[in-house]
A = this chain, B = another copy of it.
């Protein structure tokens, strides 16, 4: 797992891992990187007579330690069939999202939803404070109705309703804000390359950018509630 597309390209192509590997080798590339680079690597692997899956994960270091990661895989049926039993040893779910690059596509689409809903939930909880509505009451109502979402139900960004959420641990990650920002920027990059307009995704990327540039990068991503609240 490497930080960005350029590092993966460096290792695979320029540093020679691909050319040094034997024919038929299966590459399981678990970095979260941009879709275009992932697809270019698939092509390079295929031309070299090898197989590849792009297989970014969700679940964080805790999920890795507990072998409960989710793998989102892009690649041929054949490559997926080979990679699946290996990754199942580290994960609770290994999902075939389609052809080359679709693991990355699934991850950034999912995390764009996540970033948008997290800020929306933070805003609703802060508005509730303003209106004199208890966090727990809003939690009880929304987690069971149309406001239900993972960001609220299982990762609630205020202390109390979900004891295990980072809000109860002074917003120690968990999933750091700078990692969320990275994923939101990948989504924006893909949207712009594909002539897709994503106004809420763009707003979420900008708000996490303000939060990270203001010093919140290593805070859990739910800690953006402090910026929304003003403290």
Binding site for B on A (CB under 8 A): 35, 58, 70, 72, 93, 95, 97-99, 101-102, 105-106, 108-114, 116-117, 119-121, 123-134, 137-138, 140-142, 144-152, 155, 185, 187-192, 194-207, 209-210, 212-215, 227-231
Whole-angstrom distance from the CB of A73 to the nearest CB of chain B? 10
In this complex, the member of A109, A189, A190, A202 whose beta carbon has the largest number of chain B beta carbons within 10 angstroms is: A109
Chain B residue nearest in CB terms to A142: B110
Across the interface, do B105 and A132 meet the contact criterion of CB distance under 8 Å?
yes
Oligomer copy total: 4
Cα of A119 to Cα of B115 in the assembled complex, Å: 12
On chain B, the residues within 8 Å of A131 by CB distance are 35, 101-102, 105, 109, 190, 194
Cα of A123 to Cα of B201 in the assembled complex, Å: 7
Whole-angstrom distance from the CB of A24 to the nearest CB of chain B? 26
Across the interface, do B147 and A200 meet the contact criterion of CB distance under 8 Å?
no
Chain B residue nearest in CB terms to A195: B213
Cα of A51 to Cα of B188 in the assembled complex, Å: 35
Whole-angstrom distance from the CB of A33 to the nearest CB of chain B? 14
Whole-angstrom distance from the CB of A85 to the nearest CB of chain B? 19
Across the interface, do B137 and A106 meet the contact criterion of CB distance under 8 Å?
yes
Chain B residue nearest in CB terms to A119: B200
Cα of A227 to Cα of B214 in the assembled complex, Å: 7
Partner of A117, one of B99, B116, B155: B116
Cα of A127 to Cα of B191 in the assembled complex, Å: 6
Across the interface, do A146 and B111 meet the contact criterion of CB distance under 8 Å?
yes
Whole-angstrom distance from the CB of A77 to the nearest CB of chain B? 14
On chain B, the residues within 8 Å of A72 by CB distance are 141
Cα of A156 to Cα of B177 in the assembled complex, Å: 28
Chain B residue nearest in CB terms to A124: B109
On chain B, the residues within 8 Å of A200 by CB distance are 116, 119-120, 123, 200, 203-204, 207
Cα of A147 to Cα of B113 in the assembled complex, Å: 5
Contacts A133-B102, A138-B109, A146-B110 hold; do A209 and B189 have CB atoms under 8 A apart?
Answer: no
Across the interface, do B198 and A206 meet the contact criterion of CB distance under 8 Å?
yes
Chain B residue nearest in CB terms to A72: B141
Chain B residue nearest in CB terms to A209: B197
13 residue pairs of the A-B complex, CB under 8 angstroms, read: A35-B131, A105-B128, A109-B138, A111-B147, A113-B152, A117-B117, A123-B198, A146-B155, A149-B151, A196-B209, A200-B204, A210-B228, A213-B230
